[in-house]
Each structure stands twice: as C-alpha cells, then as structure tokens.
C-alpha cells in the first residue's frame, strides 16, 4: 500500500492506494461512528464493510445523475436512515458517485463526515481527492457544489481490473494533465505513463495533495488543477445539455482541452510550436485524441466557457507559459474563437 497525506491542519486525511485498499474502510472511519450510509451504483457490485450498521442507497449511472434532484433524494434517504452528524456517508464508485455523495454529505445537517472508496481511475487520481463536490445544471458542469473534505480516501487498484475501455480513457485524460503539473523527475511528462498503475495513481494524488494543501478553496494556486478543463467542461456541457448530440467522457474532453490550451497559449505568444507538439505527444502517449469532435460550434463552446467557475466576468484560462502552468485572466474572445476555428470548429 502507498499512503499519501493531504495536509490540511485539523482536516488532514490520508489517501491509501493499492490492491485491496477498500478492505481498510473500517480502519479509516472517524472515531465514534455508529452508523453508515453507503452510496453506490447497482451495476458496480463492489462490497465494502464499514464495521458498523449500514444501509445502501443507489444512484443512477452517468453524468446526468449529478443533479439537484438526486441530492434531495439522497438527503431524504439519509434522514430515513437516521443519519446524524456523528455518522458517516461512504461513497463507493467513480467521480459521479463521489461528487454527488460528497455534496449531499456537505448539505445534510450542514455537513456530515464522508469517506470515498474510489473505484474508477478518474476518481482515484482526481475526483475523489481534494474536497470539491458538486452537481450539474443545464447551464454548465459542476456549477453547484461545496468544498467538503473527506475523512479518508481509499483507492483500491483491484477495482480497475474490469474497467471499460472508455473509463480507462477518462482517467488517462486526467493523468495527461498531471504529466504537465508534476515536477520534472517526479513522475512528470512521459515518465508517468511508464509507471505501474499503483504508482501512477499515487503520483497523481501526491501532486494534487500538494496543490490542495497550499490552496484548499481554489484561489489562483488551485486553479492549475483545471488545466485543460475550461474547454473540456464546455464539451461536456454540450453533451449533457442537448440530448445525445455529443458522447464524450470527462478525460477524453480534458485531452482535447489540453491541446486547445496549448494552441491558445501559442497564439498568445506564451509557448512555441515545439511545446504545443509536446502536449500532443503526451496526450497521444496515453492513447487519447487531441482533436475536437466534428461539428462543434465555436460560438457555442465560447458561451459555455464564459460560464466557467474560474471566470470573473471575463475569460480566464489555465495556460502553459514561461513560468509553467498558471491562470491567465482577460483572454480576448477573438483569440479563443480563432484557436477553436483553427482546430476545426465551425463559426
């Protein structure tokens, strides 16, 4: 097992990575817990034992499950189970489950403890760590949420054995992001793709833990974790906001977003063509495409990007540059549209 601490003072917790990590659940619960509500999805079939009396609540599959209606349904389930402030919510699943259950836990009784048992690659390296919880609106992804840190996170790499191909792709998109955030020689760049899976997960978690410890509530420092995500969230919003027009997973969208961010940075004179190619190579090294899906509207994507959580009545992007990856505010809409058009968008 590899243990990665997330240093947040009194809210400090550990992320345990390795084969069979989920079986440590009873050991990582906060002291004094008498009851647990386990939130999961029926198709997963992953059993956990919290060591205290528990009930299960099931949420639907897919990004559409991250809704205010599901938050209400979970909170009513917590009430029916008699969950108190001294009890715990256990989220067992991927990013949809951990985002949804974590937000419900943050809301119920104005905050009850929760533990994430992350079962997908995306959840293990990113979504289950750091305390960002939330749900979607038709107007955009994760527009309603809260910062609510888990009491612990368990990343059982055994649960990845049966992960579908596209779920692997979703996690690898986030890994590609961490390849640009990790310090050189510490699992960054192409080195990350060559490590055993447990070490890959732990390296990504360690990078995120360092960023979160320095900036828990997403000031300028934590914004770097959104590298590639401004366009990614816009692509996802197109998908879940308008029927089945676009079928794209989070990591697939992040891979495209990383290439877009590099192309935009080059247009703004922050990086050169070789650095753009480096982005394309890293994305390809994780078996992902950096190309925009066919038929995208540049104007529509720009509208969604303008609603991004980083924005403060302007267009803000996380971009590479001479000082590395950092937030850049006040990007001109014309430059964004020109970059999207050059990548194949229609006006």
Active-site amino acid positions: 110, 132, 174, 208, 218, 222, 226, 229, 233, 250
Backbone region of residue 251 per phi and psi (left: phi > 0; alpha: psi in -120 to 50; beta: other values): alpha
Q: How far apart are CA 312 and CA 76, in angstroms?
A: 35
Query: Phi and psi for 329 in degrees, rounded to 5?
Result: -95, 160
Q: Closest Cα partner for 115 from 196, 21, 179, 194?
A: 21
99 DSSP β-pair partners: none
Q: Closest Cα partner for 84 from 52, 112, 107?
A: 112
Q: How far apart are CA 57 and CA 37, in angstroms?
A: 7
Q: How is the chain split among helix, strand and coil, in percent rounded to 5?
A: 45, 15, 35
Q: How far apart are CA 208 and CA 206, in angstroms?
A: 5
Long-range contacts of 325-331 (CB under 8 A, 24+ apart): 325/180, 325/181, 325/224, 325/227, 326/220, 326/224, 327/220, 327/223, 327/224, 328/268, 328/270, 331/264, 331/268
Tokens of residue 281, six digits: 């190579």
Tokens of residue 135, six digits: 């749900």
Q: How far apart are CA 115 and CA 102, in angstroms?
A: 8
């Amino acid at each position: 097992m590899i243990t990665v601490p997330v240093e947040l003072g009194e809210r400090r917790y550990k992320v345990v990575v390795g084969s069979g990590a989920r079986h440590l659940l009873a050991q990582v619960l906060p002291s004094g817990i008498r009851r647990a509500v386990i939130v999961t999805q029926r198709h997963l079939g992953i059993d956990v034992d919290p060591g205290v009396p528990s009930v299960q609540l099931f949420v639907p599959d897919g990004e559409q499950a991250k809704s205010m209606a599901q938050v209400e349904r979970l909170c009513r389930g917590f009430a029916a189970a008699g969950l108190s402030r001294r009890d715990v919510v256990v989220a067992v699943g991927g990013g949809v489950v951990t985002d949804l259950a974590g937000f419900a836990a943050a809301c119920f009784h104005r905050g009850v403890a929760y533990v994430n048992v992350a079962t997908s690659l995306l959840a293990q390296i990113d979504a289950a760590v750091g305390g960002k919880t939330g749900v979607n609106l038709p107007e955009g992804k994760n527009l309603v949420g809260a910062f609510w840190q888990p009491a612990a996170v368990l990343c059982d790499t055994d649960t990845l054995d049966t992960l579908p191909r596209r779920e692997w792709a979703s996690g690898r998109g986030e890994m590609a992001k961490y390849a640009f955030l990790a310090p050189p020689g510490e699992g960054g760049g192409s080195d990350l793709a060559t490590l055993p899976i447990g070490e890959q997960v732990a390296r990504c978690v360690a990078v995120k833990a360092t960023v979160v410890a320095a900036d828990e509530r997403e000031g300028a420092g934590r914004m770097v974790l959104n590298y590639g995500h401004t366009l990614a969230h816009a692509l996802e919003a197109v998908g879940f906001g308008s029927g089945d027009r676009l079928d794209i997973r989070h990591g697939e969208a992040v891979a495209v977003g990383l290439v877009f961010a590099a192309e935009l940075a080059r247009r703004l004179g922050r990086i050169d063509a070789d650095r753009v190619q480096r982005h394309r190579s890293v994305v390809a090294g994780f078996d992902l495409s950096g190309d925009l899906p066919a038929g995208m509207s540049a104007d529509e994507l720009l509208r969604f990007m303008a609603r991004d959580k980083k924005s403060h009545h302007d267009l803000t992007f996380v971009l590479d540059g001479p000082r590395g990856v950092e937030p850049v505010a006040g990007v001109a809409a014309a430059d964004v549209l020109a970059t999207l058009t050059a990548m194949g968008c229609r006006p």
